[in-house]
Amino acid sequence: MSEKDSELVTIGKSASNGISRRKFLQILGASSAAGVAGCARDQAQKVFPFVRGEEDQIPGVSVWYRSTCRECSAGCGIQVRTREGRAVKIEGNPEHPVNHGGLCGLGQAALQALYDPDRVRQPLAREGGSNLEPQFKPISWDEAYARVAAALKANNKKVLITGEETGALDELAQSFSKAFGAEKISFDALQPVALAKASEQVYGSYGIPRYDFEKAQVIVNFGADFLETFVSPCEYARGWAKSRKSGNPAKFIHVEPRLSLTGANADLWLNAKPGSEASVAWALVKFLLEAGRGNSLRDEVRQSLSSLLRDVSIDAAAEESGISADKILRAGHELKSADASLVLAGGTAAATANPMSLQVATATLNLILGNVGKTVLVGSMRKPQTSLARFSTAIASMKKGEVGLVMMHGANPQFNLPAELGFQYALAQVRAGDPKGKPGLIVSFSSSLDESAMLADIILPSHHSLESWGDSRPYAGVHGLVQPVMTPVFDTRAFGDMLIKLAAMAGQSSVAGGAEDFLGYLKASWKKVHAASGSSADFQRFWLESVERGGYFVAEEGDSSKLSTSTDAYKPVKAMAKVGSGFGDQDLVLYPYASVKTFDGRAANRPWLQELPDPITSYVWDAWAEMHPATAAQRGIAEGDVVQVRNKNGELSLAVHISDYVHRDVVAVPLGQGHQAYGRFAKTVGYGNASAMLNLSANAEAIAYVGAAVDVVRGRGRSSLVKTQGSDSQHGREIARTAFVQAGAAHGEEHGAGHAGHHEPKQMYVQREHPIYEWGLAVDLSACTGCGACVVACYAENNIAVVGKEICSQGREMSWLRIDRYFEGPAEELQVSFQPMMCQHCHNAPCEPVCPVFATYHNEEGLNAMAYNRCVGTRYCSNNCTYKVRRFNFFEVDVPEPVSWQFNPDVTKRSMGVMEKCTFCLQRINEAKDHAKDEGRIVRDGEVQPACVQGCPTQALVFGNMKDPESKVSRWAESHRAYKILDHHINTQPAVSYLERVKHKL
């Protein structure tokens, strides 16, 4: 068993500390010294009252705080549930204009960053140890402040590196940098800077436009993983799903060298040679111009375009990309005939050494198709500040020994930057000091000991965003507020407060404009928002209302019509002249891709996300190398072999996953694994950091993720990749169904007339009766993207154990809700289905009659109940379950403090030897019934939302009372698309209905 697994699981331990549900009862801070319920006999349990009563705190009642997610720069609104002063669950804020209530897995797993057992608990100073393995010793805050303030006073160059910040914190950091003459650098590896620059060149304004996926009838996408990590995935997924759920879904064509989750949701997935997307995009520009689109362009623009595109043709593009000319033409015809369409480029596929060509081509496509102002809103853009060019300049100056102070917060450049850039060497030079020999200081404000913090001299740990004040202004009209939801877990400080205090100590107290702390600074900044809002309420009231709402939002501020009508800003760029991929005939190209599991590596320390099966490969707790069968065969590599992927900058040692859905020239690896620091959970997953191996292109504004040539050689042995899904095929059983729009009015014809939704078999026995409630769930497969947000929500809500790779390999993962993924057809006509699978709460459940102790039974509300305290662990029920949704606790999982603080006190923590499964979030049903009883009524439709339903970014799930014919779930279940899985074969009568996926056949 690896080190990681032993952290997670203690086999055969009878009762472990810190996991009792009742422990939360009125506990203030201190943990109970007494034993936990169960076997502890003689120890008396203690009950701790609050010392001071708080107005809004009732023991046993949740308090919700609205805030803004700071895990990526999208700026989704969140609401955090706290119990007895501890954050236990994060959900999307339904009133927030960005995400409308949904939240991705990363946002929900922010709790695990808050309660990370390896967080920095107090200020640390480097003392001894090697450069790579430093030793840190705790120091006092006063000492830490004094050392940094002294360095600030020194007269030399300074660098302040932050993440992608907006709002007051950004203003403060700017003002701080200005006061001390420091270079302020924003760094977020995933920001599509080239896209923002292309907007400047084509639309005349720098920034990432907003995209209206709902209005687009045709989407042509060059690698932008807008359902995963691209800019604002919750927002885009929601818009895309709205179009999918309507009767007339958008036609979605996706071009990329490796099947991503977004590509898997496309109607037509095209496998392009890496770096060849630009030639396809320019061929489409030419085709559309020739087909008569783009009449709104000025003549000189058209002329310059056609002269530039003289040598471009669809055939040439087909040859270069390896996509058949028919398919490119098909995309061209779809775009041509659509009123509103959307062309996008992004993700790893677009991050080549010369990303501007593709980005300008897609922006041009949007322009000539008239999408600007319809689906591409350039009036209120996100303006990323990340600039690799500026960072490179700063690093060069650090290497020269000119910089005396480096401050880092919210970014992990050591992990995310290519090794060739020499960030580590640059920091070593800073430490070595200037030519006079005066050593410089490296300060990290990181909350966790990541790779960059390990290089620091002093660490002043900052609060997590759930512990601090702040705001987020992703685009015009959206002012999201961040508020602390609990007292800090450790002895940390807010980054803003630290900047203000340091500035004051270094004699620049005017930095904060007179504010004593960051909250004061934030309020001063919000006074401007208040003034601009034209609100008649006084500021205090405006502020309180904004805090309560989660921010201040104006509908559709920033009209895009002004920019879209004018094409003056459009300037043909030199980048166009160089059509084609940015690299030569290398053998294999490294293709590191960001995924919902790890993003760029920031999510690697979250056990929930590590245990979440990868949406495409279904691997857990691992990194792997995806290769095409032909490429692998050429090298004599088989599935599961360990290979060394290497170039001059680094080496990865990974197991191979053979897949038809990667290009022959590509070896695809998940980005963000292979940490050498960043906590116990991140450290042991994957070997080697793919980011380090990337090429450095001259003057690049962003990291070129495609283009690094690598050698792949067979290493020693085989590795055990662990996947949770046994088969990729449905074996013709119609478990996840797809209907194609082509079939016309009688759609669904293709799989026979027998719609299971209307299948009413003759029943021999008396049917069950449900007097008041009959809870049911419906899932619209059209809207399900397979992102796994529901799975993470379920882990968070129901105290589900994270067991680690070893135990997952024995098929003993504990997830109550999983997403099944099926591939159908050859790679050229690939159809992928995602299907959330939870307990179906069958009304004729196979598990119930086989339980010898009546622990599982059907209750009056239509729930397949499971009484844990009755279960003796025969596992007959699991054997008999048709859907494989029951999970057995083979082990007691030992959870380190303070991860255990996250546990939901309303849900029993199951012990070893007990069967468990989805309860439809019974605790939420009971809570809603409790409210309803207080008001003397029954539960209203929509009042109960299980965690999966609430968390779904696309609202693909609906829950409610099937006895109420007007309820949303009843209407979904009555839909002609509805069916129940395997019901027509075995008459289980599930309470979960699925609505078949509707797609186009392109």
Partner 1 sequence: MRNSRFSVLSIRFVIVLSALVSWMSPLASSAQPAVDENPLSTSAISGPYKDLPVNQGVWNGGQAALWDLNIIDFYKYFGPQQRARGFKPEQPIKFNHIIHVQKNGMECQYCHWSVAKSSYAAIPEVDACMGCHKFVLGSNDQYKAEIAKIAEYAQKGEPIPWVKVHVMPQHVNFNHKRHVKAGVGCQECHGVVPNMAQVERVSSMKMGWCIDCHRERGTSIDCYTCHR
| DSSP-assigned letter for residue 878 | H
User: Would you count residue 857 as binding partner 1 (CB under 8 A)?
Assistant: yes
User: Would you count residue 926 as binding partner 1 (CB under 8 A)?
Assistant: yes
Q: Which of 5, 17, 25, 204 binds partner 1 (CB under 8 A)?
A: 25
Give the nearest distance from C-beta 886 to partner 1 in angstroms.
16
**CB pairs under 8 A, 24+ apart, for 519-522?**
519/469, 521/168, 521/172, 521/496, 522/168, 522/469, 522/470, 522/471, 522/496
The two three-digit tokens of residue 379, written as one number: 């009036």
User: Would you count residue 487 as binding partner 1 (CB under 8 A)?
Assistant: no
Give the nearest distance from C-beta 926 to partner 1 in angstroms.
7
Give the nearest distance from C-beta 67 to partner 1 in angstroms.
24
Q: Which of 130, 536, 729, 869 binds partner 1 (CB under 8 A)?
A: 869
**Closest-CA residue to 19 (of 699, 912, 724):** 912
Give the nearest distance from C-beta 859 to partner 1 in angstroms.
5
Cβ atoms of 114 and 368 within 8 Å: the answer is: no
| Residue with smaller CB distance to partner 1, 40 or 573 | 40
User: Would you count residue 51 as binding partner 1 (CB under 8 A)?
Assistant: yes
| Residue with smaller CB distance to partner 1, 823 or 920 | 920
Most distant CA pair in the chain: distance in Å?
Answer: 93
3-state SS string for 777-794: EEEECCCCCCCCHHHHHH
Rounded Cα distance between 856 and 915, Å, is: 9
How many other CB atoms sit within 10 Å of the CB of residue 39?
9
User: Would you count residue 52 as binding partner 1 (CB under 8 A)?
Assistant: yes
What number of residues does the chain have?
A: 1002
Give the nearest distance from C-beta 872 to partner 1 in angstroms.
14
Q: To which H or E segment does residue 643 belong?
A: strand 641-647
User: Would you count residue 22 as binding partner 1 (CB under 8 A)?
Assistant: yes
| Residue with smaller CB distance to partner 1, 495 or 903 | 903
Rounded Cα distance between 336 and 344, Å, is: 16
| Residue with smaller CB distance to partner 1, 22 or 523 | 22
Rounded Cα distance between 764 and 542, Å, is: 64
Question: Phi and psi (nearest 5°) for 66?
Answer: -90, 145
User: Would you count residue 141 as binding partner 1 (CB under 8 A)?
Assistant: no
User: Would you count residue 907 as binding partner 1 (CB under 8 A)?
Assistant: yes
**Interaction residues for partner 1, span 714-743 (CB under 8 A):** none
Rounded Cα distance between 675 and 451, Å, is: 8
Give the nearest distance from C-beta 841 to partner 1 in angstroms.
12
| Residue with smaller CB distance to partner 1, 57 or 809 | 57
**Closest-CA residue to 546 (of 528, 566, 571):** 528
Cβ atoms of 151 and 441 within 8 Å: the answer is: yes
| Residue with smaller CB distance to partner 1, 26 or 540 | 26
User: Would you count residue 13 as binding partner 1 (CB under 8 A)?
Assistant: no
The site string for partner 1 over 61-100 (x = CB under 8 A, - otherwise) reads x---------------------------------------
- State the number of binding residues for partner 1 (CB under 8 A): 48
Rounded Cα distance between 900 and 892, Å, is: 14
Give the nearest distance from C-beta 136 to partner 1 in angstroms.
30
Place of tokens 């009862």: 25
User: Would you count residue 933 as binding partner 1 (CB under 8 A)?
Assistant: yes
| Residue with smaller CB distance to partner 1, 409 or 887 | 887
User: Would you count residue 40 as binding partner 1 (CB under 8 A)?
Assistant: yes
Rounded Cα distance between 985 and 842, Å, is: 14
Cβ atoms of 973 and 256 within 8 Å: the answer is: no
**Closest-CA residue to 480 (of 423, 427, 415, 547):** 547
User: Would you count residue 439 as binding partner 1 (CB under 8 A)?
Assistant: no
**Closest-CA residue to 76 (of 46, 96, 51, 56):** 96
User: Would you count residue 860 as binding partner 1 (CB under 8 A)?
Assistant: yes
Stretch that binds partner 1, among 154-162, 282-290, 692-700, 856-864 (CB under 8 A): 856-864
User: Would you count residue 20 as binding partner 1 (CB under 8 A)?
Assistant: yes
User: Would you count residue 37 as binding partner 1 (CB under 8 A)?
Assistant: yes
Place of tokens 């591939």: 823
The site string for partner 1 over 887-906 (x = CB under 8 A, - otherwise) reads -------------------x
Rounded Cα distance between 792 and 784, Å, is: 15
User: Would you count residue 870 as binding partner 1 (CB under 8 A)?
Assistant: yes
Edge-first strand listing for the sheet containing 157-162: 134-138, 124-129, 458-459, 441-444, 403-408, 157-162, 182-186
Q: Which of 12, 30, 729, 935 binds partner 1 (CB under 8 A)?
A: 30
Q: Which of 16, 586, 882, 923 binds partner 1 (CB under 8 A)?
A: 923
| Residue with smaller CB distance to partner 1, 205 or 908 | 908
Residues making contact with partner 1 (CB under 8 A): 20-22, 25-26, 28, 30, 36-38, 40-42, 44-53, 58-61, 857, 859-861, 863, 865, 867-870, 906-909, 919, 922-923, 926, 930, 933-934
